[in-house]
Structure 1
Amino acid sequence: MRRPDKIGYTLLAIAICIGLPAFGYGMWQLERQFNYRAGYESEVRKTVCGMVKPEYLSEGCEVSNQSNKSKPLSTEIVDGQLIISIGTDTLLNGLEIGRPHGLGDITITDRELFLKEFVLELNAESEDGSTLIHRVLDKAVSNALENGAQGVEYDD
């Protein structure tokens, strides 16, 4: 039969082995959270808000914290107009890091000049007078109809 004092020592040893690391981890997490909130939470929030639409974030973002250059791609109807917008910094960053298909890696050396060239291409008319923007809108309509868009009557 075991003596009660050995059981007590065993339980104490187990509690120390489990409790100290858990306590240490908890203190580390507490210190980390304090440093985050006191140090750079606002910078992280500002960066995330510049990359993600505010409506997709659980806490939202102040739109005034974003410069127009860093706004994400958005498409909306405002005052009877279709508005498609993207900040120029967001666009150029996406072009530089998001080109796995086609041209490969690029580095934009003159941002303003490239943006002018880019807009010229968007507005360049083909033989039938259509532009890349026309083709994007046509494709969006086709996709909406194929996906069962409501508010449309089909002619026979």
Structure 2
Amino acid sequence: MKYNTRLGEIEINENEIITFEKGIPGFEHLRKFSVISLKDTLPILWLVSLEDENVSLPIIDPWIVDKNYEIEISNEDIKELEIEDKEKVAVWAILTIPSGHPEETTVNLRAPIVINMEKGKGKQIILDTEKYKIKHKLSEFSFQE
């Protein structure tokens, strides 16, 4: 099916739709998203809303940012996301890219997006640790592509 997004019109297959049952903080009213890869923005991908064409969130693999990144998913979140196989789970960190000032980009390592790719279920979880912040300056890290 074709969807209009901030990134243009994109063909999305049913198995590429990720449902966030409670939405994403700040976008609680939106439930259907998809992860889009554009070669011009790699390693940044895009979590695009399929319900509001104006919503697309830049995301990045947190292990590219911090090779020692650690995440512990609670039993409650494992159950909610119906995770049976950890190999089929994707974890993304949301970026904030200030308009006109990409050098001030921050990455949220404290509240990653966790997606059960097998079931098409996603959730933004808040890690129970002080190790990570909601706004780490991306410039503080050396990329580990």
Higher strand share: 2
Query: Which entry has the higher C-alpha Rg, 1 or 2?
Result: 1
Whether these two folds match at TM > 0.5 is no
Considering fraction of residues, name the structure with more helix: 1
TM normalised by structure 2 equals 0.22
Normalising by structure 1, we get a TM-score of 0.21
